[in-house]
Amino acid sequence: MRREKPFCCQECDKHFSRISYLKTHMRSEKPFKECDKSFIDVSHIKRHMRTHTREKTFKCKECDKRLINIFSLNRQMQSDTKEKPFTCKDCKRSFSQSCHLKTHMMTHTGEKPFTCKECDRSFSQSSHLKTHMNIHTGEKPFTCKECDRIFSTVSSLKRHTITHTGEKSFTCKECAKSFSDASHLKAHMRTHTGEKPFSCKECDKSFSQISHLKTHVRIHTGEKPFICKECNSSFNRVSNLKIHLRTHTGEKPFSCNECDKSFSHLCSLKRHIITHTEEKHFLCEECDSSFNRVSYLKRHLRTHTGEKPFSCKECDTSFSHVCSLKRHMRTHTREKPFPCEKCNKNFSQMCSLNIAGIYFYSLICALLYLK
């Protein structure tokens, strides 16, 4: 005789012979809002939640390490109390299992047997490869509690969390400067040691930071990823774009303390300040001209030697001054960074803008005279 099943689930129309079976089923049907996983009990949901928040509530008494769940804690406790007969010959670190020692040895040998099929990047551990794969799949399982921003790796989440706390726990012993990340401190330390481990393959120039090398490489590749929305001029550095934008906004943040004159570039202010100091120690032996900066003297000497060290890559025309080369380059790029407020035309050179301004006022005067 077939058993009667009078208790029906309203979600999926399944029938059950007992109310307790239905209640158990109802709990299992409720998905978790973060990742659509289902759980039988609310305690299971709470335990699973820690995989998203990375909350570590279980503390190991042996080593003070914090773990996500009780199972991880038990494994850690066993690891701490267990005998560790497998010792690394290079750093004397000990392990409870030979497989753990084998994995550790890769940090010394540099062996990386786990390769990503998407980008050929290699890793010493399979878990590191799995974490890396999130970059390609777009999966971001780690959520910030403060702003709900999501990340593909737990290390990225940790770095981000510090932006909310403002914590800077990594301090330089040389100058007491503090950093929020160990990698930032490591990069900073090179300013004291002079170490430059990142070398350019094109010209053998070395840099203390990988980001500086990447920026430098654009000089060789010609890549200019930072584009001005106003005139479509492109730049190889974001700092150069910011400086260029002042030609459109008219911003002049650098002021002279002597005469209150303002400049859009710091170098322009420095050049201007020298006009207030009348000392000119650098003399030209050819014509007795004097200069207050050695760079000005060097530039002047080219008028005597005829040297033109700055060449255009487009047409091989050479120039004695870099500013002359920059002006010339606009004939190729068609860049016109100097807008006229009177007639709304753009010009490639400031002198052309000045001429346009004079012409505009002359035209206005002529029209008034005719009236």
Residue 3 is predicted with a pLDDT of 60
* Band (32; pLDDT cuts 50, 70, 90): very low
Residue 40 is predicted with a pLDDT of 52
Residue 42 is predicted with a pLDDT of 53
One-letter amino acid of 110:
G
CATH of domain 16-79: 3.30.160.60
Tell me phi and psi for residue 324, to 5 degrees: -70, -40
In this structure, are residues 142 and 150 in contact, taking their beta carbons and an 8 Å threshold? yes
Whether the pLDDT of residue 78 is over 60: the answer is yes
- List CB contacts of 72: < 8 A, sequence separation 6 or more: 58
Lookup result for tokens 């654009």: 218
Residue 30 is predicted with a pLDDT of 47
The C-alpha atoms of residue 188 and residue 180 are separated, in whole angstroms, by 12
The C-alpha atoms of residue 75 and residue 367 are separated, in whole angstroms, by 92
Whether the pLDDT of residue 1 is over 60: the answer is no
Residue 369 is predicted with a pLDDT of 46
Of 102-111, 142-151, 340-349, the poorest mean pLDDT is in 340-349
User: For 22-26, what is the mean pLDDT?
Assistant: 66
DSSP three-state, residue 289: coil
Tell me phi and psi for residue 150, to 5 degrees: -115, 150
DSSP three-state, residue 285: coil
Q: Express each pLDDT in 286-314 by its tens digit.
A: 888 888 778 888 888 888 888 888 888 88
User: For 215-234, what is the mean pLDDT?
Assistant: 88
Per CATH, which fold does 289-335 belong to? Double Stranded RNA Binding Domain (3.30.160)
Of 37-46, 215-224, 233-242, the poorest mean pLDDT is in 37-46
Of 13-22, 124-133, 159-168, the poorest mean pLDDT is in 13-22
**Residues present in the chain in total:** 371
Q: Which two tokens stand for residue 260?
A: 């209150």
* Band (33; pLDDT cuts 50, 70, 90): very low
Whether the pLDDT of residue 322 is over 80: the answer is yes
Q: Select, from the ranges 127-141, 156-170, 212-226, 269-283, the one with the highest average predicted confidence (pLDDT).
A: 212-226
123, containing H or E segment: strand 122-123
Over the chain, what is the mean pLDDT?
A: 77
Q: pTM of the entire structure?
A: 0.38
Whether the pLDDT of residue 9 is over 80: the answer is no
User: For 342-354, what is the mean pLDDT?
Assistant: 63
Q: Select, from the ranges 31-35, 94-98, 201-205, the one with the highest average predicted confidence (pLDDT).
A: 201-205
Max Cα-Cα span within the chain: 121
DSSP three-state, residue 352: helix
- Adjacent-strand bridge partners of 255: 262
Whether the pLDDT of residue 367 is over 70: the answer is no
User: For 2-31, what is the mean pLDDT?
Assistant: 66
In this structure, are residues 161 and 144 in contact, taking their beta carbons and an 8 Å threshold? yes
The C-alpha atoms of residue 154 and residue 244 are separated, in whole angstroms, by 38
User: For 347-356, what is the mean pLDDT?
Assistant: 58
Whether the pLDDT of residue 55 is over 60: the answer is no
